[in-house]
Chains A and B, each alone.
Chain A
Amino acid sequence: MENKKPKNVFKEGAISSQFIADSIAKHQSKTGIGAHNIFLGQVRADEVNGKVVSAIEYTAYEEMANQKFYEIREAAFEKFDLNCMHIYHSIGKVNTGEICLFVFVSSPRRKEVFPAIEFIVEEIKANVPVFGKEIFEDESHQWKVNS
């Protein structure tokens, strides 16, 4: 933690496929990498009592969340042999079918990236103070809880 200030992980709205593609392309110059792994969280159209979720509106305790993302990042670098790691999470409204979480890890070897991505995603789900309002097609809502 020392003096490094946590980066802002949040992006307003959905994470576009173009943004993801550009992130991949930026790694072509890093030739020490032999394996990438990517996790994409997508907003699901859950059905609850006959109503269908049309979007999730994300809010967060952003200062604490960015600190948690930073700690998860440090822990992942400690546990796994990674060249680099990127995490982006949406804030604000994301429609069903759109991407709300993008985790990208790179390593010299494939065996590191599978457990690394799982570790990071599970840590995010359990420990980062992000809240999701599931908005139904009729504008009513309920609050999402990670299972």
Chain B
Amino acid sequence: MKLAIKYFGQLAEITECSEEEFEFSGMKISDLREALFLKYSKLSNKDFQIAQNQVLVSDDTEITTNEIALLPPFAGG
């Protein structure tokens, strides 16, 4: 399936884009992490959470929508 992935903060510096389409054949968030680490090896050193459809999800969550975001540590306020 074709995912629309958004990258924020220092993660967008690594990917050199804030959003991209990403062709993906896995099932879970953990599979997606692996696929992204293959494309962007520097991501594997970074601390980030993943949101699916604007909700934070864990590694064993199944991917059911195409709106994905990689979120580095929060710094609001």
Contact = CB atoms under 8 A, between A and B. Distances in A.
Interface of A: 41, 56, 58-61, 63-65, 67, 89, 100-101, 121, 124-133, 143-146
B71 interface: yes
Contacts of B74: 125-131, 145-146
Interface residues of B, number: 15
A41 B9 contact: no
A77 B8 CA distance: 31
Contacts of A145: 73-75
A67 B56 CA distance: 12
B75 A146 contact: yes
Interface of B: 6, 8-10, 51, 54-55, 69, 71-77
B75 A131 contact: yes
Given A59-B8, A89-B76, 6 more contacts: A61-B6, A61-B51, A128-B76, A130-B76, A131-B9, A143-B73
Ranked 3 nearest A-B pairs via Cβ: A130-B76, A131-B9, A132-B75
Contacts of A65: 76
B9 A89 contact: no
A146 B40 CA distance: 25
